Amino acid sequence: MCLAVSTIPIGIISGIQGIRASMGLITLIFFVTFFVSLTISYFITRPLEKLTNNINEISKGQLEVTLSPSEIDEIDNLTDSLNRIMASLKLAIHKVGVKKGEIFENTVPAKESVLDKLPLVESKKIDEKLPEQEFDSVFVFDENANILDCNENMYKKLGYTKEEMLSLNMSDFDALESKEEIINKINEIKKTGSLSFKTIHKKKDGSPILVCENLQYLKDKNEFKAIVREDYSPKTPL
């Protein structure tokens, strides 16, 4: 009996110590879990939420959004890719001359293109020759259709500065033909010496101009000259 009584305090003390050890372990687990949660939230969840919000803004046409780098390599790589996409998109918008709102607008029916309002025009040969005159737009280009030089009429008609004009390719303002098609035409001019046709030029703001264009091969320089005259009779059959 005495032995049993003497073991009671020891059992109670052992139980209390066990409870304290368990509480200590639970507390430690709680703080570790809390710390890990904060770390995940700070380094992963918040950057992802911020990136998601930024993408939503970009989808609405806000191309000036700044994407912040992340400590997580995968998120940082994604951010870099999005930054490159936005840079390419800005460059494309600048070259095409389209307003950002017209690209991202999804709450109204698509607007009829300005080009759609013009009569159907095919870029094809015409017999008309265009001797250069003072009011003509004139530019010089190489065999890859890159602009080498131009007169004041040319860049002002299209709404560019001369520096901007000299950074363009003919395909940047020709609304009907691709760069490949233009280069094929240039190769044809090398054989024939000149070529005249009607086409549509696209201004910097996106508005079209129906023009007559005469391309000439400057064999001694291995360059090409274009004489451009606005066509004021779009309904005239070609």
Q: What is the spatial order of strands in the sheet that 147-150 belongs to?
A: 124-125, 194-202, 208-218, 223-230, 137-141, 147-150
**Residues 6 or more apart in contact with residue 133 via CB below 8 angstroms:** 229
How many other CB atoms are found less than 10 A from the CB of residue 40?
Answer: 11
Contact by Cβ (8 Å): 155, 163: no
Buried b (16+ CB within 10 A) or exposed e, 121-150: bebeeeeeebeeeeebbbbbbeeebebeeb
- At 136 the pLDDT is 87
Please give the Cα distance from 115 to 36 (Å, whole number): 58
Per the listing, tokens 């159907």 go with 120
CA distances from 216 to 45, 50, 130, 169, 220 (A): 62, 55, 10, 17, 12
List pLDDT tens digits, range 144-173.
Answer: 999 999 999 999 999 999 999 999 999 999
Q: What is the pTM of this model?
A: 0.46
Which residue(s) pair with 212 in the sheet? 198, 229
Please give the Cα distance from 165 to 169 (Å, whole number): 9
Q: Assign 107 a pLDDT band (cuts: 50, 70, 90).
A: very low
At 206, the amino acid letter reads G
Contact by Cβ (8 Å): 213, 101: no
List pLDDT tens digits, range 21-77.
Answer: 677 778 888 778 877 777 766 667 777 777 788 777 776 666 667 677 777 777 777
List domains and CATH numbers for the chain.
2-96 (no CATH), 115-230 (3.30.450.20)
